[in-house]
Amino acid sequence: MSGTMLNVGLDAAKLTEQRSRVLRGFAKGDRAFSLTTLIACWTVVIILTGVMVALFRGALPAFQAYGWEFFVSQRWSPPKEIFGGLPAIYGTLITSLIAMAIAMPIGLGIAIFLTETCPMALRKPIGIAVELLAGVPSIIYGIWGLFIFAPFLAEHVNPALVKFFAPIPLLNALFANGSYGTNVLTASLILSIMIIPFISSVSRDVFETVPAVLKEAAYGLGCTTWEVVRKVVIPHTRVGVIGGGMLALGRALGETMAVTFVIGNAHRINPSFLDPGTTISATIANEFTEADPGLYSSTLFALGFILFVITFIVLAAARLMLMRIERRLGN
């Protein structure tokens, strides 16, 4: 009997030891796992810093040569080595802003239609069509824009715009000339088509997270669909909608190929949206292959660095805005 007791005791001791070994194993495994994820995280940080440092080092000669002048000068003359970044910076910002102004209402409209009023049978096909639009490579938009869209605008839309706005002061300066099909407005329109799917698919996803009970309660109080969307759905999903918008803006700021095809690539700032312009990414894509090493190449690095900083500022501003909204809601 005592033998059995001993056996049981031994068994228990063995079991405890086994268990603690297993537990030690767990701890080790967990450490290794968290180390792996840490490395993955640091890879991103290291690459990001590396890109930033490399861009800045490449840009340094240009910044030293031109200083603040670079941000305000409009001249761009490779033979004379006079470079000013303002037209490219202006073009980048203005095309993205116009694109957002067009795409935001349309994108939200698509999302609202899909989640609130669309018949069930149509939801899937339309949703897929919108997502396919997001998958179209930008070069396709560029070719389509250059061969079909720009000539169409030049022939039918631009003259009408010029005629329509001619008697309105201020706006007639924004819509003047219009003899070129490739211009700032064409680039903005192409950009807006490219970013609509980002806005609408993100918005649709967040709209679907609105609890049905909230909406039903609002409908029960006699709200119209418009009131439900405005007072319930959008306030509830504000953060997600703004996030989708920022994603779209980020894409618009950096878009290269499609814009290069249709913006007209002129290093000049014109008041009219129907005149050619350029953007930072279009300038870099156009001129890098043939840029002489030295100041010319360095200027392109400087433009790249500025684009990096602009994108960073946009993201930071978006974050700040979200934080303030959330704080206000908290109070």
* Least distance between another protein and beta carbon 128 (Å): 32
Judged by CB under 8 A, the residue of 3, 67, 79, 125 near another protein is 79
Judged by CB under 8 A, the residue of 95, 201, 265, 298 near another protein is 265
Q: How many CB atoms lie within 10 A of CB 315?
A: 14
Q: DSSP string covering 137-148, please?
A: -HHHHHHHIIII
* Residue 138 lies near another protein (rule: CB under 8 A): no
* Residue 25 lies near another protein (rule: CB under 8 A): yes
Amino acid identity, residue 256? Answer: T
Q: Is the dihedral of CA 123, 145, 188, 307 positive or negative?
A: positive
Q: 69 or 116, CB closer to another protein?
A: 69
Q: Where does 113-183 have alpha helices with state H?
A: 120-135, 138-144, 150-152, 158-165, 171-174
* Residue 156 lies near another protein (rule: CB under 8 A): no
Q: How many CB atoms lie within 10 A of CB 321?
A: 13
* Residue 183 lies near another protein (rule: CB under 8 A): yes
* Residue 16 lies near another protein (rule: CB under 8 A): no
CB-based contacts of 49: which residues, under 8 Å, 6+ apart?
A: none
* Residue 226 lies near another protein (rule: CB under 8 A): no
Judged by CB under 8 A, the residue of 10, 26, 48, 168 near another protein is 26
CB-based contacts of 210: which residues, under 8 Å, 6+ apart?
A: 232, 233, 236, 237
* Least distance between another protein and beta carbon 19 (Å): 8
* Least distance between another protein and beta carbon 48 (Å): 16
Judged by CB under 8 A, the residue of 286, 311, 314, 322 near another protein is 286
82 three-state secondary structure: strand
Q: Buried b vs exposed e over 99-121: b needs ≥16 C-beta within 10 Å?
A: bbebbbeebbebbbebbeeeeee
* Residue 215 lies near another protein (rule: CB under 8 A): no
* Residue 289 lies near another protein (rule: CB under 8 A): yes
In sequence order, the β-bridge partners of residue 77 are: 82
The structure tokens listed for 165 are: 């706005």
Q: 244 or 276, CB closer to another protein?
A: 276
Based on its alpha-carbon atoms, the radius of gyration of the chain, rounded to whole angstroms, reads 28
* Least distance between another protein and beta carbon 237 (Å): 37
Judged by CB under 8 A, the residue of 16, 18, 64, 209 near another protein is 18
* Residue 78 lies near another protein (rule: CB under 8 A): yes
CB-based contacts of 35: which residues, under 8 Å, 6+ apart?
A: none
Which of the ranges 29-37, 55-63, 112-120, 320-328 carries the binding residues for another protein, by CB under 8 A?
A: 29-37
* Residue 76 lies near another protein (rule: CB under 8 A): yes
Residues that bind another protein (CB under 8 A): 18-19, 21-22, 25-26, 28-29, 32-33, 35-36, 39-40, 75-80, 82, 146-147, 150-151, 154, 179-183, 260-261, 264-267, 276, 278, 282, 286-287, 289-293
